Amino acid sequence: MKASWREIMWTYGQLAVALAAGAVVLGAAIVSPRTAAGNKESTIDRALTTDGKTAGTHAGATKETGSGVGELKVSIKEWDVPTRGAHPHDPAVGMDGALWFTEQMQNKIGRLDPGSGAFKEFPLKVDNSGPHGLVADSAGNIWFTGNFAHYIGKLDPQTGEVKDYKMPDKKAEDPHSLVFDSDGILWFTVQVGNFVGRLDPGSGKVELQTVPTGNAHPYGIQVNSQGVPFFCEFFTNKLASIDPKTMAIREYPLPEGVRPRRMAIDAEDRVYFTDFERGHLGRLDPKTGDVKMWNSPGGPTSNPYGIAITPDGMVWYSESGVKPNTMIRFDPKAETMARTEIPSGGGTVRNMAATADGRVYIACSGVNKVGVVVPAR
């Protein structure tokens, strides 16, 4: 079945190994998540261009001290999704603070009130839509990608009505992740189709731009404080940005073998990303092109996946290759990590969303649950 093939491919990323990108690969610091004291300095090898010429030299600190990763002090509450086999894929924060989520395998959009525990589900009219990513607009509507059905939908929670926006190119078969900019324009990725697109909710116009690198599989997408969308090229070792006016794409090389899957952007417009293939948390500074990498606590096969940044600047992500799945909190100032296990096991946390008060919403697809992570105060 087509959908199952995609899930298997995305989960394990086996094809990514053969798709290392060309262009300049910048040097990066690879850092072990230890305590901040007693650092040892080390120089990272010079990066080379595709013709073997030196692209630059970068130095980084390798932390080797301390007893390891700290204990993450949080409470995690999880709820069973009412519909069995829903495979909740992505969560989002509603304008009223509700936890919205896609039910990818049961063709529904779900809503949870974390305060009361009450659920409401909205069936979709397009058969086998495969709802994947979702985001709320300023009016409270929920926009989602119909990943199996070549469209983007807008759900009106008051009426349950859904308006469909079809892709203008048949090759744009699988709209994936999406985000609004400050002007209300919706930006989205099309993974297998290899596009990034924008949708103007006012006019309904949909425009697509092909990613320069073939078979890049554009994945997670976010917008920085300047209104510039950035996205992951999951089947390459690149991140990229798209000019919101011209739709010109600029690519940013990452270290060889890195496979960025999801991203989050901090208050300084630095791009944090999860390296699904080799078990790192990474950070790109688009102003300089510098990249820094930290070893994930679960090791090279930990498959870091969903990621979010809370208002206090802490970076949160989940290790999907560790059983049970973990929640990791990274402190960018101290460069330390803390970890806890997800009570249900997680079953692969593919995405997460941070609330204004510092909580983290998660969707645990393999165990058919959604949850809220609350930091200890």
CB atoms within 10 A of CB 177: 26
DSSP per residue, 321-333: TSSS-EEEEEETT
State the Cα–Cα distance between residues 184 and 288, nearest whole angstrom.
29
Q: Which residue is associated with the tokens 């899957």?
A: 261
State the Cα–Cα distance between residues 209 and 189, nearest whole angstrom.
10
Find, among 27, 25, 54, 29, the residue nearest to 39 by Cα: 29
CB atoms within 10 A of CB 197: 24
> Which are the contacts of 171, defined by CB distance < 8 A and separation ≥ 6?
193, 194, 195
Q: What residues pair up with 31 in beta bridges, in sequence order? A: 294
Domain 69-375 classified CATH 1.20.1440.120? no
Mean pLDDT by 10 residues, the chain (377 residues): 41 35 44 41 27 29 49 98 98 98 98 98 98 98 98 98 98 98 98 98 98 98 98 98 98 98 98 98 98 98 98 98 98 98 98 98 98 96
| pLDDT of amino acid 253 | 98
- Alpha helix positions (H), 219-317: none
pLDDT tens for 277-290 read: 999 999 999 999 99
pLDDT tens for 7-44 read: 444 343 333 333 333 333 344 556 655 433 333 222 22
User: Domain locations in the chain?
Assistant: 69-375
| pLDDT of amino acid 33 | 54
State the Cα–Cα distance between residues 108 and 119, nearest whole angstrom.
12
State the Cα–Cα distance between residues 260 and 257, nearest whole angstrom.
10
Find, among 214, 239, 162, 151, the residue nearest to 188 by Cα: 151
| pLDDT of amino acid 32 | 56
Q: Which residue is associated with the tokens 């039910």?
A: 103
Binning the chain into helix, strand and coil, the percentages to the nearest 5 are 5, 50, 45
